[in-house]
């Protein structure tokens, strides 16, 4: 029996299986081996013709075969417990398939931008903690079809991850969970992040209130910088002037009416306001109606 050489992978699997059993049925081979009906039936018949498989017992319509010497067996074939062997066989075959897959799988190629447009798109998405497809398209860095192909290539390379949904819109991120945590921490500790945190804590405040809050840190928190940040956030719809009558003698008393989360809205040089909590541009200078207020 040991001289038998199966002709193919399916035959090899069947031969190994039936040799691992005291007895087996055609249904057992069907359940545990990958060969189709025609190949399985013909191979088992060829083994029988070679006298490598013999009928051991017949129980009603069920025939029990063996690849061993029938004289070495005894007892009722139906009572032979094969559960442990079945479990081991499944485990061994699964391990073999996983190993084969790992050996033949193509290595994942690291993705790199191929064109100046892709480089600009990559730089943009890496500046956002999370974003929507529409946000990337709105930048007009590249034609819409190229931008869509770019995002698809990132997804195929495993560089684009789901970042949840907001109002039914899917959000994405190009950062790992650890990177997101680190970047969020960096944003909260930035100058804008600390001003934003103070705004959220106060809810209603004046620029003078902010200056008092950051007294001793004038190098980081100048009056000009705080006024500029507050003024731009007011235009973006985050802050509202809550003064009654709004006399010029009064300091502007801001009310935070759009608290979207712990990360500070960032002001670009355009200037553009980007809200990383919502993953979108919420204000562009020169626009009368903003996304934040429309």
> Based on the domain organization, do 275 and 195 belong to the same domain?
yes
Task: Give the C-alpha separation, 132 to 115, whole Å.
Answer: 22
Residue 292 lies in a domain: no
Q: Which helix (H) or strand (E) holds 63?
A: strand 62-66
- Range(s) of the domain holding residue 268: 185-284
Asked if residue 139 is part of any domain, the answer here is: yes
Does residue 1 fall inside a structural domain?
no
Where a domain ends, among 46, 74, 104? Answer: 104
Is 3 among the domain residues? Answer: no
The per-residue pLDDT for range 181-193, each reduced to its tens digit, is 666 677 778 888 8
pLDDT at 108 over 50: no
Query: 95: domain CATH number?
Result: 1.10.10.10
Residue located via tokens 């075959």 = 93
Q: What percent of the chain has pLDDT over 70?
A: 79
Model pLDDT, residue 45: 92
Last residue of a domain, one of 126, 153, 173: 173
DSSP code at position 240: E
Question: Total structural domains in the chain?
Answer: 3
Give yes or no: residues 250 and 166 share one domain: no
User: Which of the listed residues 104, 126, 159 is the one where a domain comes to its end?
Assistant: 104
Query: Per-residue pLDDT averaged across 197-206, rounded?
Result: 88
**293 belongs to a structural domain:** no
């Amino acid at each position: 029996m040991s001289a038998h050489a199966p002709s193919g992978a399916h035959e090899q699997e069947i031969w190994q299986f039936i040799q691992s059993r005291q007895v087996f049925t055609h249904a057992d081979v069907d359940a545990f081996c990958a060969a189709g009906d025609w190949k399985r039936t013909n191979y088992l018949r060829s083994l029988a013709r070679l006298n490598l498989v013999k009928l051991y017992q017949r129980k009603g319509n069920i025939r029990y075969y063996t690849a061993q010497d029938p004289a070495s067996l005894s007892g009722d074939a139906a009572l032979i417990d094969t559960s442990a062997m079945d479990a081991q066989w499944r485990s061994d075959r699964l391990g073999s398939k996983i190993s084969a897959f790992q050996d033949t799988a193509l290595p994942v190629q690291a993705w790199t931008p191929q064109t100046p447009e892709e480089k600009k798109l990559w730089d943009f998405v890496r500046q956002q903690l999370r974003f929507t497809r529409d946000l990337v398209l709105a930048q007009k860095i590249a034609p819409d079809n190229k931008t869509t192909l770019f995002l698809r290539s990132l997804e195929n390379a495993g560089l684009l991850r789901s970042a949840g949904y907001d109002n039914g819109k899917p959000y994405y991120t190009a950062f790992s969970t650890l990177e997101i945590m680190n970047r969020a921490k960096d944003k909260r500790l930035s100058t804008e992040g600390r001003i934003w945190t103070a705004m959220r804590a106060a809810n209603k405040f004046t620029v003078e209130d902010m200056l008092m809050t950051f007294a001793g840190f004038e190098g980081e928190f100048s009056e000009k910088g705080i006024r500029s940040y507050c003024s731009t956030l007011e235009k973006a719809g985050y802050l509202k002037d809550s003064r009654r009558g709004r006399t010029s003698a009064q300091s502007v008393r801001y009310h935070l009416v759009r608290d979207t989360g712990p990360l500070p809205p960032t002001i670009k040089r355009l200037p553009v306001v980007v809200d990383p909590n919502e993953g979108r541009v919420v204000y562009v200078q020169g626009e009368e109606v903003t996304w934040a207020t429309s």
